[in-house]
């Protein structure tokens, strides 16, 4: 399955807020084709199908059983990620899910093991790291333009998603919070730039027990908070670099950089990892100011769904896909270990590791068969 078809045929499970971005992107990529969509809210599934030519609304069981679905795109809430992934794998489908990979590393390990037994692939967001922003930063870093990396910082601060999301409960349940919701973007970028993490320290706080919904028909209603909403971590990468991470739903405003990498010969400013592009800037020893860096890597005009197309391309060529389950598992392990360290008051080793995903050649497209392939899988 996969390599023999012209386009990887996709069934989408979950027609919520993020699905529109995926459907818009996948429509314009030649090596993928969305054929079906389902949602617990049948009206929402019908609306998504009606807005996407050639897509039919199905029940979950029908989608999983469909012969013309090769990959299940899992856009459900975090608590359902592992359950849907297992159902897709049991049906013989490849699966690509939204972040986080699962609510716990135990759940994620079971998904990876099931995929190995079934001979199918697992992919996971974020695929934002495949765009020109993070990939240009990686190219400049790998070229030695700021010397050997010593440290990095990563900051994401906001008052909380309940201000704009009409049904924000899942952000404040296990699998949510600033670390599990936004952390995957920043940590996947750090792993892409600096490699895997071997040890962490952390502290966490929950300053408010409730949140008030700020938009939609339930505006003014209060919801309970069951997770830490301000998390600080220090990460020791396998290469010795130290990253400082701050993820918060408790900060009204800040002037912090998204990500900066500090080396023996300069500094590198990385754009928002929740986006695909953005300007990279470099400050080198002897310079008087930051200098914009010309784009040097990444898929141009990328958007959510490029990771699915990258997986489809890798299936055809027999190579490794970039937004893969091993990286997503390691990022989940890092997040879980930060919270373990916060609870214990001690630094903790991260049990897992992963390979840095191969770099994305500048200007290529994931559906371009002439793009430089990666190493073949055995």
SS3 track for 232-255: EEEEEECCCCEEEEEEECCCCCCC
339 domain residue, yes or no: no
38 domain residue, yes or no: no
308 domain residue, yes or no: no
In angstroms, what CA-CA distances link 130 with 98, 115, 134, 178, 310?
15, 23, 7, 22, 9
Distance CA 301, CA 203 (A): 37
Contact 66, 89 (CB under 8 A): no
Residue-wise burial string across 314-340, b where 16 or more C-beta atoms lie within 10 A, e elsewhere: bbbbebbbbbbbbbbbbbbbbbbbbbe
Chain-centroid distance of CA 92 in Å reads: 24
Query: pTM here?
Result: 0.94
311 domain residue, yes or no: no
Closest CA to 91 of 112, 111, 72: 72
355 domain residue, yes or no: no
First CA to last CA distance, the chain: 17
207 domain residue, yes or no: yes
Residue 141 is part of which domain span?
129-293
What CATH number is associated with residue 264? 3.30.360.10
Contact 75, 13 (CB under 8 A): yes
Q: Give the pLDDT of residue 5.
A: 44
Q: Give the pLDDT of residue 366.
A: 94
Chain-centroid distance of CA 215 in Å reads: 26
Phi, psi of 59, rounded to the nearest 5 degrees: -75, 160
324 domain residue, yes or no: no
Which residues does 61 contact at the CB level (< 8 Å), separation at least 6? none
pLDDT of 203-213, one tens digit each? 999 999 999 99
Instruction: Give the number of domains in the chain.
Output: 1
The conformation of residue 82, written as its DSSP 8-state character, comes to H
Peptide bond between residue 100 and the one before it cis (omega within 30 degrees of 0): yes
98 domain residue, yes or no: no
Using 50 as the pLDDT threshold, list the residues of the chain that sit under it. 1-5, 378
pLDDT of 236-267, one tens digit each? 999 999 999 999 999 999 999 999 999 999 99
Q: How many CB atoms lie within 10 A of CB 143?
A: 9
Residue with tokens 């390599």: 3
Q: Give the pLDDT of residue 1.
A: 41
Helices (H), the chain: 19-26, 42-50, 60-65, 81-90, 105-118, 132-142, 177-194, 306-317, 325-344
Contact 267, 289 (CB under 8 A): no
């Amino acid at each position: 399955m996969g390599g023999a078809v012209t386009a990887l045929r996709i069934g989408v499970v979950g027609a919520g807020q993020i699905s529109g971005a995926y459907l818009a992107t996948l429509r314009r990529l030649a090596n993928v084709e969305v054929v079906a969509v389902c949602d617990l809210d049948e009206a929402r599934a019908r609306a998504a199908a009606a807005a996407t030519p050639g897509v039919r609304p199905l029940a979950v069981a029908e989608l999983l059983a469909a012969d013309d679905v090769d990959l299940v795109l899992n856009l459900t809430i975090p608590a359902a990620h592992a359950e849907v992934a297992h159902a897709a794998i049991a049906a013989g489908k490849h699966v690509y899910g939204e972040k986080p990979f699962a609510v716990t590393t135990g759940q994620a390990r079971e998904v990876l093991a099931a995929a190995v037994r079934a001979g199918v692939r697992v992919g996971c967001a974020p695929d934002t790291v495949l765009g020109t922003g993070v990939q240009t930063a990686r190219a400049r870093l790998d070229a030695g333009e700021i010397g050997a990396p010593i440290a990095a910082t990563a900051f994401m601060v906001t008052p909380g998603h309940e201000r704009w999301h009409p049904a924000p409960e899942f952000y404040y349940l296990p699998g949510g919070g600033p670390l599990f919701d936004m952390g995957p973007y920043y940590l996947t970028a750090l792993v892409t730039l600096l490699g895997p993490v071997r040890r962490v320290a952390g502290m966490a706080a929950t300053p408010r027990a409730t949140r008030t919904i700020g938009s939609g028909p339930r505006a003014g209603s209060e919801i309970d908070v069951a997770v830490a909403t301000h998390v600080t971590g220090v990460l020791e990468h396998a290469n010795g670099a130290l990253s400082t991470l701050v993820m918060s739903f408790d900060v009204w405003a800040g002037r912090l950089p998204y990500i900066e990498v500090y080396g023996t010969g300069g500094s590198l400013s990385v754009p928002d990892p929740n986006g695909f592009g953005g300007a990279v800037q470099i400050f080198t020893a002897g310079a008087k100011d930051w200098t914009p860096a010309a784009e040097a890597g990444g898929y141009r005009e990328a958007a959510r769904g490029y990771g699915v197309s990258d997986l489809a391309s890798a299936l055809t060529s027999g190579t490794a896909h970039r937004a893969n389950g091993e990286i997503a598992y390691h990022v989940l392990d890092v997040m879980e270990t930060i919270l373990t360290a916060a609870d214990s008051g001690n630094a903790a080793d991260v049990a897992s590791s992963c390979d840095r995903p191969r770099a994305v050649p500048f200007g290529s497209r994931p559906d371009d068969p002439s793009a430089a392939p990666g190493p073949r899988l055995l």
